[in-house]
């Protein structure tokens, strides 16, 4: 205790000489607000992109390709929402890093914080499904006045062509082929090389999914199935957006 006055005098001397600078309480407040804002933004982005990824997997054709077994793996990988998952993981990692640096959490193990964040983001993202926010974002992707247009690069993959799969609404049934409407236009599906013939179930107006390969604008199907368009609402809306509602379809040949 005898050295206290000397230490105090030395500190005051350093301050007066300018070697030690006092920081205003407003600077500390601004720094805390900045860290808090960055943490909140990271968590919001993680929740939002997790919700969009859930919606994408549920509403697109991505997971349905797995029902074809190994034949559908290429189409599944080609349609997987990599962009959504990458932004979600990055946002989650940034949120965890910032949280680790805060005064209230710096003593906690990073593993504990990671588990807490994953559980919190998962629950919040799942709860967002009841708000239909992701569906409104998807429907606003092509509206130049909607905020949904900013998410188009991440969601549009669900409507693009697949290398190993195809899905759409049948508008023509011919000898050895179907003509179908897809979100990106009309496609011809060659059914001459099917491993299992289910073509008798296909009618004009049916929705089909097929796996195979595309060459010179023609998709050669190896396996095919009739599906319910209600299970792929994102694709159905894409077709309706491109062609309009199926008011009158051509008859079978």
If you average pLDDT over residues 222-245, what whole number do you get? 92
* Pairwise CA distance, residues 180 & 55, whole Å: 25
More confident residue, 135 or 38: 135
* Pairwise CA distance, residues 93 & 102, whole Å: 15
Quote the percentage of the chain above a pLDDT of 90.
46
What lies within 8 Å, CB to CB, of 84 at 6+ separation is 49, 52, 53, 56, 154, 155
Q: Is 12 among the domain residues?
A: no
pLDDT band at 248 (very low <50, low <70, confident <90, very high): low
* Pairwise CA distance, residues 108 & 118, whole Å: 16
What lies within 8 Å, CB to CB, of 136 at 6+ separation is 148
| pTM listed for this prediction | 0.80
Considering the domain architecture, whether residues 174 and 145 belong to the same structural domain is answered as no
Q: What is the pLDDT of residues 137-184, one digit of tens each?
A: 998 998 888 888 899 999 988 889 888 999 999 999 988 899 999 999
Lowest mean pLDDT among 15-19, 94-98, 131-135, 198-202: 15-19
Q: What's residue 37's pLDDT?
A: 79
Q: What's residue 27's pLDDT?
A: 43
Residue 242 scores a pLDDT above 80: yes
Considering the domain architecture, whether residues 116 and 209 belong to the same structural domain is answered as no
Q: Which of 166, 170, 140 is nearest to 249 (CA)?
A: 170
CATH code for the domain of 187: 2.40.50.140
Q: Is 43 among the domain residues?
A: yes
Q: Is 251 among the domain residues?
A: no
Note whether 156 and 141 are within 8 A (CB): yes
Considering the domain architecture, whether residues 125 and 207 belong to the same structural domain is answered as no
Q: How many domains does the chain have?
A: 2
Q: What is the pLDDT of residues 87-127, one digit of tens each?
A: 999 998 888 887 777 655 556 666 677 788 889 899 999 89
Q: Is 150 among the domain residues?
A: yes
* Pairwise CA distance, residues 115 & 247, whole Å: 51
For residue 155, how many C-alpha atoms fall within 13 Å in the half-sphere facing its CB? 29
Of 9-13, 95-99, 226-230, where does the model show the most confidence?
226-230
Residue 195 phi, psi (nearest 5) = -80, -25
If you average pLDDT over residues 229-235, what whole number do you get? 94
Residue 15 scores a pLDDT above 70: no
Q: Is 70 among the domain residues?
A: yes
Residue after which a domain boundary falls, among 103, 135, 157: 157
| Both tokens assigned to 188 | 């011809």
Residue after which a domain boundary falls, among 157, 183, 218: 157
If you average pLDDT over residues 3-21, what whole number do you get? 54
pLDDT band at 253 (very low <50, low <70, confident <90, very high): very low
* Pairwise CA distance, residues 184 & 213, whole Å: 17
Q: What's residue 83's pLDDT?
A: 94
If you average pLDDT over residues 131-139, what whole number do you get? 90
What lies within 8 Å, CB to CB, of 29 at 6+ separation is none
Q: Which of 177, 181, 240 is nearest to 212 (CA)?
A: 177
Q: What's residue 178's pLDDT?
A: 93
Q: Residue 216 belongs to what domain range? A: 163-243
208 forms bridges with which residues in the sheet?
168, 226
Considering the domain architecture, whether residues 152 and 173 belong to the same structural domain is answered as no
| Both tokens assigned to 250 | 């051509």
| Both tokens assigned to 15 | 């301050």
Residue 189 phi, psi (nearest 5) = -110, 115
Residue 220 phi, psi (nearest 5) = -95, 110
* Pairwise CA distance, residues 143 & 248, whole Å: 27
Q: What's residue 247's pLDDT?
A: 58
179 forms bridges with which residues in the sheet?
172, 188
Q: What's residue 29's pLDDT?
A: 44
Q: Is 90 among the domain residues?
A: yes
If you average pLDDT over residues 57-66, what whole number do you get? 94
- Three-class SS state of 89: helix
């Amino acid at each position: 205790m005898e050295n206290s006055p000397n230490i105090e005098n030395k500190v005051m001397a350093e301050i007066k000489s300018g070697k030690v600078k006092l920081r205003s309480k407003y600077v500390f407040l601004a720094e805390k607000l900045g860290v808090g804002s960055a943490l909140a933004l990271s968590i919001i982005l993680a929740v939002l992109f997790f919700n969009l990824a859930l919606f994408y997997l549920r509403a697109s054709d991505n997971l349905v390709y797995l029902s074809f077994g190994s034949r559908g793996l290429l189409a599944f990988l080609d349609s997987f929402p990599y962009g959504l998952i990458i932004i979600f993981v990055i946002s989650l990692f940034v949120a965890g890093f910032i949280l680790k640096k805060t005064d209230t959490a710096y003593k906690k193990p990073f593993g504990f914080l990671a588990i807490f964040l994953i559980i919190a983001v998962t629950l919040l993202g799942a709860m967002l499904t009841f708000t239909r926010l992701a569906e409104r974002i998807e429907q606003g992707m092509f509206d130049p006045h909607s905020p949904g247009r900013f998410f188009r690069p991440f969601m549009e993959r669900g409507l693009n062509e697949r290398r190993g799969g195809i899905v759409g609404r049948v508008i023509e049934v011919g000898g050895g082929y179907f003509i179908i409407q897809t979100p990106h236009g009309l496609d011809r599906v060659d059914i001459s090389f099917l491993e299992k013939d289910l073509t008798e179930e296909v009618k004009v107006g049916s929705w089909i999914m097929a796996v195979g390969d595309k060459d010179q604008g023609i998709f050669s199907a190896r396996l095919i199935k009739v599906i319910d368009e209600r299970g792929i609402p994102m694709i159905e809306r894409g077709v309706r957006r491109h062609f309009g509602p199926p008011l009158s379809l051509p008859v079978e040949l």
